Chain A
Amino acid sequence: MMLFDSVIAAACLGAAAMALFARDRIAAVAAFLVMGLLVALSWLRLGAPDVALAEAAIGAGLTGALLLRSARRVPKASAKALPPAQWLGAALLSLAVSGAILWTALIVETAAIYPALVNEALPESGVENPVTAVLLNFRAWDTLLEIAVLFAALAVIAVVKPVHPRIAPLGPMMLPFARVVLPLTIFLAGHLLWQGGHAPGGAFQAGAILAGGAIALGLSGMVRPIRWGRAALAGLAILGLGAFVVAALAAELLTGALLGYPAGAAKAWILAIESALTLSIAATLLLLFIGPAERH
């Protein structure tokens, strides 16, 4: 498999170079998408299927949709070569970063104390997937703040109100496509959400897939952008953070520990929080795509 890994690593670098140096914006975005998929494959080879799923769904899928949506508004890259000073600066910076990573990898050889600790405490967490146990139980506080950051990003965009070009329907083939894909994404999102308890999956991946299905429906022209009900979507976007905070406070009241779930009921708590997060993440990503505020 050494050969396979080397080919993937080389292809990642090639796709990244194409994304950077392609003059045409659409071509650059396409190269970026390919790089996202290759990076997802690399995560899989590194034994991190959870990260691979998230990278494929969010990094390659939804970021790609957002970038393609804005690609036409960014002017073509200028034909002028960069000044040598900028090249030198970029080269020094990337050398420094690579050096730091290499140094960390060489010096910190035994960073592997966490897997043993997590495995030891896994039965108490209520779930069997160690990644979900860390994200939603042992370090749930971090995830709560992450959701707050996602919401803050949406809030900033709602305040700045960038001009979102109108979503033009993509023609008659999109509706049959959305008719098949949207139910499948709902089904897959539910599957990933439930699967997060014992295998790779979870709220972020499920939410991103759900948002993808909704975007397919939006591009079919079946639902007018005006009538999306942005207020309802914004409500859903708040729901995740709200439910998480309420759960944290309720757990504090019940057990005396912030986000320390009552013993034996941890699975139900985690599933409830993750369900709210899935809907909320899907709504947030969809709002990022269609624009969180109407511009008058």
Chain B
Amino acid sequence: MTALLHSAGLVLMIAGTAFLAVAALGVWRLPDLLSRLHVLTKADTAGVALIALGAACLAQSFTATLSLLLCTLLVALSGATTGHLIARDHLDFASSQEDSP
């Protein structure tokens, strides 16, 4: 059981790292701000959640799982909110440019 959880944890963490790597690749390669935000907010949150899940499998303790859950919640919340704020600011700026050429 412990060995199974251990390997499951490793697989989950590798999957999470892959998500984060894809997010980084997207930020590097995608052409404009909105599509970069699109890849960043989603892949980032998923990556952190998967890594936290994997770490919880490895730690196998209730208190550690609780802190990891809190971390994931905060990352998900702040990631989504900052993504929204950056996009909003970008759109505001773009429309102000159109109004006053």
Contact = CB atoms under 8 A, between A and B. Distances in A.
A173 B77 contact: no
A174 B74 contact: no
B75 to A, nearest CB: 12
Given A170-B85, A171-B88, A177 B78 contact: yes
Interface in B37-92: 70, 74, 77-78, 81, 84-85, 88
B74 A173 contact: no
B77 A177 contact: yes
Interface residues of B, number: 8
A173 B88 CA distance: 10
B101 to A, nearest CB: 22
Nearest to A180: B77
A184 B75 CA distance: 13
Contacts of B88: 171, 173
Interface residues of A, number: 8
A22 interface: no
Contacts of A173: 81, 84-85, 88
A184 B74 contact: yes
B84 to A, nearest CB: 5
Contacts of B77: 177, 180-181
B68 to A, nearest CB: 15
A140 B81 CA distance: 40
Interface in A121-174: 170-171, 173-174
Nearest to A188: B70
A170 to B, nearest CB: 6
Interface in A206-250: none
B81 A177 contact: yes
Nearest to A178: B81
A44 B74 CA distance: 21
A171 B74 contact: no
A184 B78 CA distance: 13
Contacts of B70: 184
Contacts of A177: 77-78, 81
Interface in A247-292: none
Interface of B: 70, 74, 77-78, 81, 84-85, 88
19 contacts: A170-B85, A171-B84, A171-B85, A171-B88, A173-B81, A173-B84, A173-B85, A173-B88, A174-B81, A174-B85, A177-B77, A177-B78, A177-B81, A180-B77, A181-B74, A181-B77, A181-B78, A184-B70, A184-B74
Given A174-B81, A181-B78, 17 more contacts: A170-B85, A171-B84, A171-B85, A171-B88, A173-B81, A173-B84, A173-B85, A173-B88, A174-B85, A177-B77, A177-B78, A177-B81, A180-B77, A181-B74, A181-B77, A184-B70, A184-B74
Nearest 4 A-B pairs (CB), nearest first?
A: A177-B81, A173-B84, A171-B88, A173-B81
